[in-house]
Structure 1
Amino acid sequence: MFELNFLFFAVAIPAVIFAGISKGGFGSGVAFASSSILALILDPGQALALMLPILMVIDVATLGPYWKRWNWPDSRLLMLGAIPGVALGAWLYKATDADLLRLLIGGISVGFVIWHVGKTQGWVRGFANRLPPPAGLFAGVVAGFTSFVSHAGGPPAAVYLLSQRLSKTEFQASTVLVFWVINAAKFVPYAYLGMFTWHTALADLLLTPFAILGAWLGVRAHWMMSERLFFGIAYVLLTITGSKLIWDALV
């Protein structure tokens, strides 16, 4: 069991605020950096369990500002695909150990940064045409799976949504809706697997105000802050934390 000491809050409070800003204003693409950061000081399962209620609070806090601004057909495809993805994630979690979870979280973190750099440098080309509906279902499966094992469902969902040429606000609203459903779907298997404890519940209660603050800042930043600056910071965090988790898992 982890201690609710100065080190915990010094790491957890910025991580939770960062998750709120990401989900509230810039999609869920890099919100999983918070889980990667927490996994540096907590068991990976504890980090995931701690973050899920926080993410659900942020989802509720950000639904209102983006209500009905989403693209329903694309969002529906992702949500339909996400359900079997969550089930697959639950099965894998039950059959794995902490080091494999660290490797998965770290690998997804670093892989996402490499994918972004490759796209920015022209090594990876974007999609010339909108991806077809079956691709949306597949992206939903991947998002559900990666969301369950590392809260990292944002990247696969973003790949599909960005291919649909949505506006910034339509993309953001669709992301909020999709992950509100995915995170709600994850709650029951997380509870069934015994990931929640009274200790994580107390920590969540103490961190909730910071989650709401982050969500509020994220909605404000959606209209004001440079996306390039925000994501630049996020990619640095993902690279450092992801690399550390991979090292810990292998060594």
Structure 2
Amino acid sequence: MFEMNLMFFAVAIPAVIFAGISKGGFGSGVAFASASILALILTPGQALALMLPLLMVIDVATLGPFWNRWSWPEARLLMLGAVPGVALGAIFFEVTDDDFLRLLIGGISVGFVAWHVSQSNGWINGFRQKLPPSVGIFAGLVAGFTSFVSHAGGPPAAVYLLSQRLTKTEFQACTVLVFWVINIAKFVPYAYLGMFTWHTAWADLLLAPFAILGAWLGVRAHWMISERLFFMIAYVLLTITGTKLIWDALT
């Protein structure tokens, strides 16, 4: 059990708002930074359990503004792959420990930043053609797995969606729909594994208004601010938290 003291809320409130902004306006790609940040002060299991209901609140808050603006063929393929991916994540979670989860979350965080920096600098090329449907199902499988163990399903889903040449709003709407389904699928195995407690439920209740605030800010930001600025801040956060989690796991 963790203490809900000043340090907890000083870290948790900005992390939850950030998750809302990312999921509400920028395709969920870096929303998992919130779990990485919380894992600095909580065990990985506590961080994941705390964030899931808040992510579900954000999903509901963002469905309305982007309803029916998604591209159904791409979203459907990701969801088909995601359900077995969630099941694999649940099996993996049962046989691993906190330090390995810290290493995994930290590695995904740093690897995600490295991939984007390499692409933006031209060290690796983006996809010149649309990826086939089979890749969409595989991306969904990976998204379901990484979402279960670290709430980091955004990157594999984004790789596939970006290859489909969707508009910014279609891309955003697809992620809202897909991760609404994925997070619902994760809830039952999280409960079965005993990750939820009355303590995390009480913390979620206190943090829910900040999740809704973040979602509202994200929807507004989707139309108003530069994606470049937002992701620049996100990459710095992911690099710092990811490096710290890797260091904690190894030492």
Cα deviation for residue 234 of structure 1 reads 0.1
Q: Give the equivalent residue in structure 2 for 1:78.
A: 78
In 2, Cα distance between equivalents of 1:169 and 1:157:
15
- 2:19 aligned partner: 19
Query: What is the TM-score with the length of structure 2 in the denominator?
Result: 1.00
Q: 1:126 is paired with a residue of what secondary structure?
A: coil
Aligned residue in 1 for 2:217 = 217
Deviations 1:66-107 (A, max 9, x none): 000000010000000001100000000000000000000000
Structure 2 residues without counterparts, runs of 5 or longer: none
**Residue number in structure 2 paired with 1:105:** 105
Deviations 1:114-136 (A, max 9, x none): 00000011111101100000000
Task: Tell me the distance in 2 between the aligned counterparts of 1:106 and 1:194.
Answer: 23
Q: Distance in 2 between matches of 1:248 and 1:201?
A: 27
Q: Distance in 1 between matches of 2:124 and 2:196?
A: 40
Letter in 2 for 1:85: G
Letter in 1 for 2:108: I
Per the alignment, residue 153 of structure 1 pairs with 153
Measure the CA separation in 2 of the matches of 1:120 and 1:218: 23
Displacement of 1:156: 0.3
Task: Supply the distance in 1 between the matched residues of 2:130 and 2:90 (Cα, whole angstroms).
Answer: 31
Q: Which amino acid aligns with 1:193?
A: L
1:146 to partner: Cα distance: 0.3
Moved beyond 2 Å, runs of 4+: none
Count of residues in Structure 1 that have an aligned counterpart in Structure 2: 251
The answer on 1:46 being equivalent to 2:40 is: no
Counterpart Cα distance in 2 of 1:16 and 1:124: 32
Deviation at 1:167, TM superposition (A): 0.2
Partners of 2:113 and 2:149 in 1: CA distance:
18
Offset at 1:37? 0.2
Uncovered stretches (5+) of structure 1, i.e. residues with no partner: none
- Aligned counterparts of 1:58 and 1:124: Cα–Cα separation in 2: 33
Partner of 1:233: 233
C-alpha distance in 1 between matches for 2:123 and 2:152: 23
TM (norm. structure 1) is 1.00
Deviations 1:213-235 (A, max 9, x none): 00000000000010000000000
* Distance (Å, rounded) in 2 between the aligned partners of 1:223 and 1:197: 38
Secondary structure of the 2:14 match is helix
Partner of 1:119 in structure 2?
A: 119
Matched residue, 1:202: 202
Matches of 2:190 and 2:225 in 1, distance apart? 34
Taking every aligned residue pair, what percent have the same amino acid on both sides?
Answer: 83
Give the SS at the match of 2:179. Answer: helix
